[in-house]
Amino acid sequence: MKMPGNMQAMMKQAQKMQEQLQQQVAAIRVEASTGGGIVTVKMDGQKHVLEVKIDPEAAGDVEMLQDMVLAAVNEAAKKVDEEAQSLMGGMLGGLGLPPGMF
């Protein structure tokens, strides 16, 4: 089934924008800290943890340390989501779609 030329052009533009968005999301890098910097997590746009830094003084309280690592990872994931959503909003805004469609 052949699509009208205008629709075909829109589909190609949408595909190109999706590829650009995927590249931009992959390039996202975020950092989140807990406990005043005792635990710091770095994460990429695909939510892969790139680095975990732990202040050696925190090593004595394992339960607290586990909680802080968990909180830092969750905060980093939230930041990735926020940045990706911001990228998507900016890109989709150029299509002139009605608000709330995506």
Q: Domain containing 35 — which CATH number?
A: 3.30.1310.10
Is there a contact between 92 and 57 (Cβ–Cβ < 8 Å)? no
Residue 102: pLDDT band with limits 50, 70, 90: very low
> What value does the mean pLDDT take over residues 30-35?
94
Q: How confident is the model at residue 88, as a pLDDT?
A: 81
Q: How confident is the model at residue 98, as a pLDDT?
A: 52
Residue 23 lies in a domain: no
Return all residues near 66 (Cβ < 8 A) that are at least 6 apart: none
Residue 63 lies in a domain: yes
Residue 13 lies in a domain: no
What is the biggest distance separating any 2 CA atoms in the chain, rounded to whole angstroms? 67
19/47 Cα distance (integer angstroms): 18
Residue 71 lies in a domain: yes
Residue 22 lies in a domain: no
Residue 78 scores a pLDDT above 60? yes
Domain count, the chain: 1
Residue ranges making up the domain that contains 61: 28-81
